[in-house]
Amino acid sequence: MTLSAQYLWLIPALPLAAAAVGALVPRTGRALAAGAAIAALVASFLVSCVALVTALADPAAKLVYNFAWFDLGAGVFRLGWLLDPLTAFMCVMVTFVGTLIFIFSLGYMKADANFKQFFCFLSLFAAAMLGLIVANSLLLLFISWELVGLASYLLIGFWFHKPSAAAAAKKAFITTRIGDLGLLLGLLWLYDSTGSLLFFDGGAGVLEAAALGSLAAQVTVGGLVVSTAIGLLIFCGAIGKSGQFPLHVWLPDAMEGPTPVSALIHAATMVAAGVFLIARVYPLMQADALLAAVPVHALTVVAFIGAITALMGACIAVAQNDIKRVLAFSTVSQLGYMMLALGVGSWVAAIFHLLTHAFFKALLFLGAGSVIHAAHHEQDIRSLGGLSAKMKVTFVTFALGTCALVGVPLFFSGFWSKEAILHAAHGWDVSHLPFYAAVLGVVLTAFYNTRLMAETFFGKPRSPAAEHAHENSPVMTLPLVVLAVCAVVLGFLNTPVWPWLDTMLLGKTEVHGHSLMEGAGLMGLSVVLVALGLGAGWALYGRRTRVSATAPDPLAVKAPRLMAFLAAKLKFDELYDATVGRLNSASAAFADFLEFWVWGGLVTLLARLGEFTGLVNRETDERTLNGGFDNVSEQVRGPGRVYSRAQTGDVHGYLRFLALGFVVLVLLVVMGGAK
Amino acid sequence: MKSLPLLSLIVFAPWAGAVVLAFVGRHVGANANRTIALLSSFSTLALAGVALASFDPAAVGYQFTERHAWISALHVDYHLGLDGLSLLLVLLTGIISPLCLLASWRVGRCPRAFGMLFLLLQGAALGVFLALDFFHWFVFWELSLVPAFFLIKIWGGPGASRAAYQFVIYTLAGGACMLLGFAALYVATGTLNFTELAQLAAAGELAPKLATLGTFWPQVVFVGVLLGLAVKVPLFPFHTWLPPAYAEAPTGVSMFLTGVMSKMGVYGFLRILWPLFPEPLHAAAPCLLWLALGGVVLGAFAAMKQTDLKRMIAYSSINHLSYCLLALFAVAGASKPDAAAAALSGTLLQMFNHGLSAAALFACVGIIEARSGGPRGLNDFGGLRTVTPLFAGFCGIALFSSLGLPGLNGFVGEFLIFRGVFGLAPWAAGVACLGLLATALFLLTFWQRVFHGPVAAGVAAFRDLDRVEFLTLLPLVILMFLLGVLPQIVIALFNPLVTAWAANLP
């Protein structure tokens, strides 16, 4: 059975339909919303499996189906679907882990009033994430990329009545959007330079030789090769989404979301989208690799950012007390490892670690969710303790997940995938610093996970909540068991002896393994490092377990200031508040000032000027023009006033005057006549 | 189409409705008045549908033209015509206007006069989108101010009187500059017909003819027309009348002002300024590009500082319309046909989409205002999503549409604008990204403060959408989804036109 690329849209469309169902059913339609979500994702999983079979039949092939979206000028703007082993593995992973997390959520969210909305958002997320994976166009990828951001925003803020959750959601959206603008600019530049955004298009795609050759041949400001500049802008998007330094600050806050969300979005899938993106556009990232006289290679930046993030995340995780925040920083750190692998040239190692990490980190988060659910939402590991006896399934599966994360040798998937990364970093000829950072990170990872296990599961319960905890129902523990099995066996898909996954991803058909002895030195080193970390952790936290929730942390006793600094997450939030936050408020205040005083002020000034002119005009009219007229009138009016006094309206008076006048006339005539 | 003067019908049907209201409305009840107004307003969409059915997008020129000699002494014709751009805006007017009246359904104070003035306003706007002779184009242009003035002043908020005066005087001043410019054009060319003037300009004869009046007249006329249009859009920094006018106007009128009237200015840029003055515009483009960027960035930052929700949305309108102008100036300043086609398509799409999302946002703020009995401050509410989940969903969709989330209508237009601007002036696209970020910031702040958090005192008793409000928002929300996924529906109307523009860049 094979799947034509033309029908790849089914994979994201099924969960999207479920999201629509979830949005339209009334609040009471809980079973319908959840049922639709799970059924759609299972169906999507089955389609993905067929896609995987199809892709593996010819791993070198890029099966594409491109279609017109809208008319643009004389041509059309096209989007497309792409099927290759990378797409297929990612689809299977997302739908499989997603289904388990959906099932787990049935139990975890049982009591929530917005249960149906939760499944609606989860389905929306799954649809967007799968759309991102099957996209054969950087724009379609970007669209899905923004939609997973939306789903993440909605789900972090799912308990929106909590101000902290609402704030965390906004912070996540804005912080990742900063990176996304870089991605957008990279996309625009790519489009402008190549005239296409399709990855593969029968030779005309942006990841194909013709376009890459022309991008690598152009130079832009600072001597930067255009492909490097575009690659770095695209990498900005990955930095934001995958919680890389310096945009990692949103990921720990994102733990405000319900724990299944943390497992699905902020551990297994969405945060790994940045790694997937760089792996997807790897030919572009690599286009400058053979050029010697360039200021920087795109992948070098990726490697250093990855190494910094890997070490930084592990350091901060040591000092966190919230079970989910420890895991969040562990995720930051592990994503750093993946970026490191991409940067040092081994994208297959990055994808291998992405896949194994998805399973064991989802397992750890669901385990944490199981603990939190059982302990009535107590998340502080200092107040937990003693759960190993009360929650046996959770304990055992969590321990298996921890072993995978730490990289306990040979039997756990994380060991093999991390080993591949260390191997690649060791072989990188640009610098050895990233390798050292990664090695140090391995010790710290073993250390903080031992601390997490010891504090959560060993010793005595240190709060009533922990005391009354008991194992959850099978709907929650069953996904844990399945994931735990995967966390172990997945590693065997890609051992040095039988590197099947690498082979498939690289598009080869014959698996060529080599003896374990070839990399034995490095492997021995990493075994020692893991043992060191486990030992130190056990010595500090396991041998003598915490006695009460308020007892000081043994490490904080030894190095209080360092621990406080780590606990405060290296003060990144404070730094950003003081710089970016202030700049932002200042810009807003400046814009508002301009509005009121300058632009508004100019208009007011103009209006006042108009009023003033009017005033002057009126005064001139009154004083000179009207004044002259008034004067003349006044001269007429003066006597008039006098005459008017005579007009009394008194008839007797008039008669009197008349008589008087008559007498005067007569007198005049008589006297005149007498002359 | 000799038999049916379709375009005249489109323009005058709302006015006919106003006349009916004037004579019949006195004898019937308030709801009958509202219904008459609504139906008359709906005529635009119905008639635009008729036009759409026989409209041929591939024919780039004007269709359904009507031309009759009017004032022969002045060589003034009554001349109407419709192309992809006009049709787009007529459709937008047809969609937005009835919704404005629905949003004003609860206006208690003299609904008959409200309906009459609104219909006058609608007809005037349609006249602007269809007139092809400056004479009656300008009559419609100025006439639209009169009903708008009374609608704001009589039915507006506490500061309405001042805002209405400012709006009218500012716009009139701009209009006077434009009138002066066209007077000179008439003296120089003897015609006021847009097509004839555009042909003269294309042949390079317009500027020499104007120069016969005096050396500086080509520039003076250009600046005059530019000012008239710049105030109307508005182009930064001629925008200061907008926030008070939008904020003080009653909800339905705010919706119309932002949804339709703000497009009149952009339409003028596309229909008049660009075809008539390609060379001065090309010369001024670098400067104007900065002004448009000012609108994009400072408009968004100023919105961040607003505490009145209506003023915030008003500033976001300045930001969104500045994207249109940014694209237009980028096109005018450079010549690169494929990028220009993208930028122009983006502009037209953005005009339509902004009309939908800004109108929806004003409707939403109006709904909040109706519940609170006046206050509409950013910090007056909280937890509305708990109390009114349906309204929260609609308002959330409108907000995300406005911030350009892919999958909703706003994205494609903004993407095309950015694609075009990046190709023509890359640095401008880079700076404009700041506006995208700031927009997300203030819209999400709006959403967070008003809808999230614990239920604030006084909010608990808010009821969810009633039927009229639901019907107001539903068409807009459906269109947001539809155009987000299938932008081709709208693009098909104007793509041949835009392609022709881009191919014949001056």
Interface test with A, best of B170, B227, B298 (most A CBs within 10 A): B298
What's the half-sphere exposure (Cβ side, CA atoms, 13 Å) at A274? 39
pLDDT tens figures, A211-239: 888 888 888 887 888 899 999 999 999 99
The reply to whether residue A181 touches residue B383, judged by beta carbons under 8 angstroms, is no
* A220 contact B CB<8A: no
The reply to whether residue B453 touches residue A602, judged by beta carbons under 8 angstroms, is no
Helix (H), strand (E) at residue B78: strand B76-82
What is the pLDDT, as a whole number, of residue B39?
Answer: 92
Across B97-124, average pLDDT? 90
DSSP state of A272: G
Q: B255 Cβ partners below 8 Å, 6+ apart? A: B96, B99, B100, B103, B358, B359, B362, B363, B366
Has residue B3 got a pLDDT over 70? no
Quote the ipTM score: 0.92
| Among A404, A388, A400, A273, residue whose Cα is nearest residue A330 | A404
What is the pLDDT, as a whole number, of residue B98?
Answer: 94
**Residues A660, B461: Cα–Cα separation, whole Å:** 91
pLDDT tens figures, A239-286: 999 999 899 999 999 898 899 898 888 888 899 999 999 999 999 998
* A191 contact B CB<8A: yes
Which of B412, B426, B453 has the CB atom closest to A166's CB atom? B453
> Which residues of chain A have a CB within 8 Å of the CB of B455?
161
Confidence label for B28 from pLDDT (cuts 50, 70 and 90): confident
Across A534-548, average pLDDT? 84
**Residues B441, B275: Cα–Cα separation, whole Å:** 37
| Interaxial angle between packed helices A273-280 and A323-343, expressed in degrees from 0 to 180 and rounded to the nearest 10 | 10
Has residue A653 got a pLDDT over 90? no
Angstrom distances, CA of residue A299 to CA of A183, A339, B6, B418: 16, 9, 62, 27
**Residues A307, A438: Cα–Cα separation, whole Å:** 6
Pick from A639-643, B47-51, B191-195: least confident:
A639-643
Q: What percent of chain B has pLDDT over 90?
A: 51
pLDDT tens figures, B369-415: 888 888 888 888 888 898 898 999 999 999 999 999 999 999 999 99
> Which residues of chain A have a CB within 8 Å of the CB of B301?
587-588, 590-592
Which of B166, B298, B495 has the CB atom closest to A594's CB atom? B298
> Which residues of chain A have a CB within 8 Å of the CB of B237?
598-599, 602
Q: Report residue B462 as tokens.
A: 């808010």
Confidence label for B107 from pLDDT (cuts 50, 70 and 90): confident
Q: A6 Cβ partners below 8 Å, 6+ apart? A: A65, A81
pLDDT tens figures, B79-95: 899 999 999 999 999 99
What is the pLDDT, as a whole number, of residue B504?
Answer: 81
Which of A192, A592, A594 has the CB atom closest to B423's CB atom? A192
Interface test with A, best of B172, B415, B416, B427 (most A CBs within 10 A): B415
Q: Least CA distance to B489: which residue of chain A?
A: A70
Q: For chain B, give the mean pLDDT.
A: 90
Which of B438, B491, B503 has the CB atom closest to A70's CB atom? B491
The reply to whether residue B440 touches residue A173, judged by beta carbons under 8 angstroms, is yes
Q: Which of residues 600-639 of A touch B (CB under 8 A)?
A: 600, 602-603
* A67 contact B CB<8A: no
Helix (H), strand (E) at residue A101: helix A85-108
Highest mean pLDDT range out of A140-149, A263-272, A646-655?
Answer: A140-149
Q: B191 Cβ partners below 8 Å, 6+ apart? A: B75, B197
Give the three-class secondary structure for A243. coil
* A591 contact B CB<8A: yes
* A184 contact B CB<8A: yes
> Which residues of chain B have a CB within 8 Å of the CB of A151?
none
Domain boundaries, given as residue ranges, for chain B: 277-506
Do A42 and A13 form a contact (C-beta atoms < 8 A)?
no
The alpha-carbon gap from A596 to the nearest alpha carbon of chain B, in Å, equals 9
Using only C-alpha atoms, what is the Rg of chain A? 38
Confidence label for A134 from pLDDT (cuts 50, 70 and 90): very high
The alpha-carbon gap from B446 to the nearest alpha carbon of chain A, in Å, equals 11
Q: Least CA distance to B297: which residue of chain A?
A: A591
Which of B240, B338, B441 has the CB atom closest to A73's CB atom? B338
DSSP state of A206: T
Has residue B265 got a pLDDT over 80? yes
Query: What region does A616 belong to: left with phi over 0, alpha with psi -120 to 50, or beta?
Result: alpha
Which of A147, A189, A589 has the CB atom closest to B422's CB atom? A189
Interface test with A, best of B169, B301, B439, B494 (most A CBs within 10 A): B301
Label the pairing between strands B76-82 and A63-72: unpaired
Which of A74, A143, A591 has the CB atom closest to B305's CB atom? A591
Give the three-class secondary structure for B117. helix
- Size (chain A), residues: 675
